[in-house]
């Protein structure tokens, strides 16, 4: 049973934070705050992927990115650790976008591939959306997106058709992220089970 000392409040005003997160946030108060910057994020993503092109028109995603970063700086009240987590998530998204553009240029037929009409499941938390989504994924002929694929949709450029899930480095990264989140926010997994292998 969870002790009251570490239990997350029902309105999430007192979320459980592991000791290393509390220490990180405490130490960060001793250093100047640096906002997340689009130029630095974009340059880091390009270096990491060794790719340059995000899209046919970079301005198409740059304006929304700048607006989001501005809102994060002014409204989100991120802790120091929250800022690190947000930076890593944004970098991951930029890296996937670089890879996706490289795939579109390398294999232009991707854009012409017909897709079956997708089904999107949306709803408020605790309303049964995960259960409904997983039930729909069992329908004959359905092709649900597994969590590890949604986490990082564009594979590395050396990926080949027929690569098994377990051999795909994206699956290993999604599993590590899942384990990391279990350490970071165990109460979240108590109310919303997550599995990189599940739809």
Q: What is the mean pLDDT of the chain?
A: 88
Of 133, 127, 126, residue with least CA distance to 150 = 133
Of 179, 167, 131, 171, residue with least CA distance to 147 = 171
Residue 39 has pLDDT above 80, yes or no: yes
In which residue are the tokens 């650790």 written?
Answer: 81
Do residues 84 and 20 touch, judged by C-beta distance below 8 A?
Answer: no
Do residues 129 and 123 touch, judged by C-beta distance below 8 A?
Answer: yes
CA distance 143 to 141: 6
pLDDT tens, residue by residue, 162-191 = 999 999 999 999 999 999 888 888 777 777
pLDDT (0 to 100) of residue 122: 93
pLDDT (0 to 100) of residue 23: 87
pLDDT tens, residue by residue, 82-112 = 899 999 999 999 999 999 999 999 999 999 9
Of 104, 102, 83, residue with least CA distance to 41 = 83
């Amino acid at each position: 049973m969870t002790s009251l000392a570490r239990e997350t409040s029902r309105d999430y005003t007192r979320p459980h934070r592991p000791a290393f997160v509390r220490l990180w946030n405490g130490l960060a108060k001793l250093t100047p705050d640096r906002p997340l910057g689009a130029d630095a994020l974009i340059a880091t993503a390009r270096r990491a992927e060794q790719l340059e092109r995000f899209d046919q028109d970079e301005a198409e995603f740059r304006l929304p990115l700048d607006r989001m970063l501005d809102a994060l700086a002014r409204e989100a009240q991120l802790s120091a650790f929250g800022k690190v987590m947000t930076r890593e998530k944004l970098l991951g998204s930029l890296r996937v976008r670089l890879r996706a553009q490289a795939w579109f240029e390398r294999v232009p037929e991707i854009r012409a591939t017909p897709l079956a009409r997708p089904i999107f499941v949306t709803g408020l938390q605790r309303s049964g959306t995960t259960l409904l989504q997983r039930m729909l994924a069992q329908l004959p002929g359905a092709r649900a997106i597994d969590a590890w694929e949604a986490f990082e949709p564009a594979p590395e450029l050396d990926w080949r058709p027929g690569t098994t899930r377990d051999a795909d480095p994206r699956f290993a990264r999604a599993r590590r992220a899942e384990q990391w989140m279990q350490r970071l926010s165990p109460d979240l997994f108590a109310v919303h089970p997550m599995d990189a292998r599940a739809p």
